[in-house]
Structure 1
């Protein structure tokens, strides 16, 4: 879908924004030729230089991302639904800076597909919910170290606004890492599809794990 391809390209640019302390890869992304390509190559390249001649590993197994509890159906105007996103360092060494990325959006042909759903992140530091609207991944989640074989789980919630157009929706979860030695990479993307139901409809399909 055109919206998914466009948003995927924007996601790549946002999630690869440079950290202040570490070397960052040069961001370059283009819309993909198909939904299949969009699912498998967020940037359109198997790897990319970090600007100092070192290669960044994309679709790396060093960092994995999973989403749990996201409903397969959301009724427009319905209440908040909690779900979670977990990032895991699968290696024997720390990842110095990890940046999560998540977008929850309509896949229909609407002017602002990401406004069809409101999604929030529960910040454990402040205890407050932070809205996704117009927030960069760095401002929303922040960069954090992830020790060897450790996980970071994000507490989230979403709902479809009352004026949301019924139809298809999706969530894209990802994560990037950078280390002080210049190594860097991205987890394989995790995609979840769901349906936005009309106002007053009763969701019948259970939540799923992506």
Structure 2
């Protein structure tokens, strides 16, 4: 979402260069500069591109089907090359039989000569010799015919095999074309869907019902102030509704940022924030783009606990990190709001293999909220997080509240809610 991406960048900048962030704060309250929109395709253009991609995909699928059908046709008795191959094979078989018969005639003629009695006349001897010579000539001719027929049969069979190989290659090429066309189609569809979603957000009007709610608090406990690279640490995020009214849906939000010791090199890719609800042992990654699953509902003066885990790659250098947390709520009547400030819990990253010993828990960078008098959601224990968001990750209102609280620590709650009302249109 637009505002979420803008303010995610703002939070990261605030950790390393807060002066820079403050210097560009006014930009968040303005409409998107023309330089950022001049190359952005229109909905109509994206629809045309999506339609073209669909057509290309359909054509590729049709080409693949045609290639498969062509290969299957070579197995039919009516296929010309198969007809030719079968005919040549039949001729070769007949020629082989004729050669066998001719060879046997030679053998029989020679046997007749060998069987002539001593009393045989010259006329009988001449006749037998003539018959042998004729048989030998016929056998030689039959051998040549057999050789020629076999050559033609081989040629016809090779032609059929070559055609099948060629068609099989065409199927392979067609399959690759289908795969590429599908990827192009999915990309075009995704671009169109994103543009339509963003246009809808821009047309929804101001969210005047969304207000800062200081009594919706998020507190981290158990996160060490020093974490060694190559290890994982578990901690807890408690979301508390300190108001007198039930919040129909509360969305916990978390953001993590880390740098090396100089503060100049971003190492976010080596630091992983994960969460799990109370009913599952499966860990899910917090990717700085989506909320965690909704708490639906969170009753007045109740809290819910979320299991969290911080994992740092062994290749991460020594450095500094911060975990930001916040919460937003949305009611069935359309009202909404969120934490006016983002709680930031700073920690040190120790190089892999370090032994920091016993360390204190990370402390919040803002004033710790007063949660006295707050009771668990049900019974003696906190209510586990349940439910899930839509596939898009959040609603339009959600996108306006999410990282908006995330940047509050740097630019202030007042400017933040101006941002939400003005509905910034940047794609940053």
- The two structures have a TM-score, normalised by structure 1, of 0.70
Unpaired segments of 5 or more residues in structure 1?
Answer: 1-5, 13-28
Instruction: Measure, in 1, the Cα distance between the counterparts of 2:343 and 2:336.
Output: 19
The structure with higher relative contact order (CA 8 Å, sep 6+) is 1
Which of the residues 301, 305, 315 maps onto 1:149? Answer: 301
Instruction: Give 4+ residue runs of structure 1 displaced > 3 Å after superposition.
Output: 35-38, 50-53, 107-111
- Considering only aligned residues, what root-mean-square deviation do their CA atoms show, in Å? 3.2
1:101-126 deviation digits (Å, cap 9, x = unpaired): 11223134445x33221222122233
Give the aligned partner of residue 277 of structure 2: 123
CA distance change for structure 1 residues 134 and 104 in 2, over 3 Å: closer, same or farther? closer
Residues 1:177 and 2:329 are matched in the alignment: yes
Instruction: Measure, in 2, the Cα distance between the counterparts of 1:159 and 1:151.
Output: 26
Q: Per the alignment, in what secondary structure is the counterpart of residue 192 of structure 1?
A: strand
Give the aligned partner of residue 26 of structure 1: none
CA distance change for structure 1 residues 69 and 148 in 2, over 3 Å: closer, same or farther? same
Q: Is the 8 A contact 2:230 2:315 kept in 1?
A: yes
Task: Compute the displacement of 1:133 (Å).
Answer: 4.2
Which of the residues 55, 60, 67 maps onto 2:220? Answer: 67
Task: Compute the displacement of 1:69 (Å).
Answer: 0.9
Task: Compute the displacement of 1:34 (Å).
Answer: 2.5
Q: Is the 8 A contact 1:107 1:170 kept in 2?
A: no
Which of the residues 313, 317, 331 maps onto 1:161? Answer: 313
1:69-120 deviation digits (Å, cap 9, x = unpaired): 1111111112x21111111101111011110111223134445x33221222
Q: Is the 8 A contact 2:256 2:288 kept in 1?
A: no
Task: Compute the displacement of 1:130 (Å).
Answer: 1.6
1:54-93 equivalences under 5 Å are 54-58=208-212, 60-78=213-231, 80-93=232-245
Normalized per residue, the structure richer in strand is 1
Instruction: Measure, in 2, the Cα distance between the counterparts of 1:99 and 1:53.
Output: 17
Q: Is the 8 A contact 1:64 1:87 kept in 2?
A: yes
Give the aligned partner of residue 350 of structure 2: 197
Give the aligned partner of residue 9 of structure 1: 7
Could you say which structure has the larger radius of gyration?
2
Instruction: Measure, in 2, the Cα distance between the counterparts of 1:176 and 1:11.
Output: 19
Instruction: Measure, in 1, the Cα distance between the counterparts of 2:360 and 2:297.
Output: 34
Task: Compute the displacement of 1:157 (Å).
Answer: 1.2
CA distance change for structure 1 residues 177 and 208 in 2, over 3 Å: closer, same or farther? same
What is the total number of aligned residue pairs between the two structures?
A: 175
CA distance change for structure 1 residues 99 and 150 in 2, over 3 Å: closer, same or farther? same
Normalized per residue, the structure richer in helix is 2
Larger displacement relative to structure 2 (181-190 or 145-154): 181-190
1:129-185 deviation digits (Å, cap 9, x = unpaired): 222247621xx4235221111101101111211111211110000111111222211
Q: Per the alignment, in what secondary structure is the counterpart of residue 144 of structure 1?
A: coil
Give the aligned partner of residue 18 of structure 1: none
CA distance change for structure 1 residues 11 and 176 in 2, over 3 Å: closer, same or farther? farther
CA distance change for structure 1 residues 35 and 147 in 2, over 3 Å: closer, same or farther? farther
Q: Per the alignment, in what secondary structure is the counterpart of residue 95 of structure 1?
A: coil
1:40-79 deviation digits (Å, cap 9, x = unpaired): x9xx78xxxx836633223x2231111111111111112x
Which of the residues 8, 18, 21 maps onto 1:34? Answer: 18
CA distance change for structure 1 residues 168 and 100 in 2, over 3 Å: closer, same or farther? same
Q: Is the 8 A contact 1:54 1:182 kept in 2?
A: no
Q: Per the alignment, in what secondary structure is the counterpart of residue 9 of structure 1?
A: helix
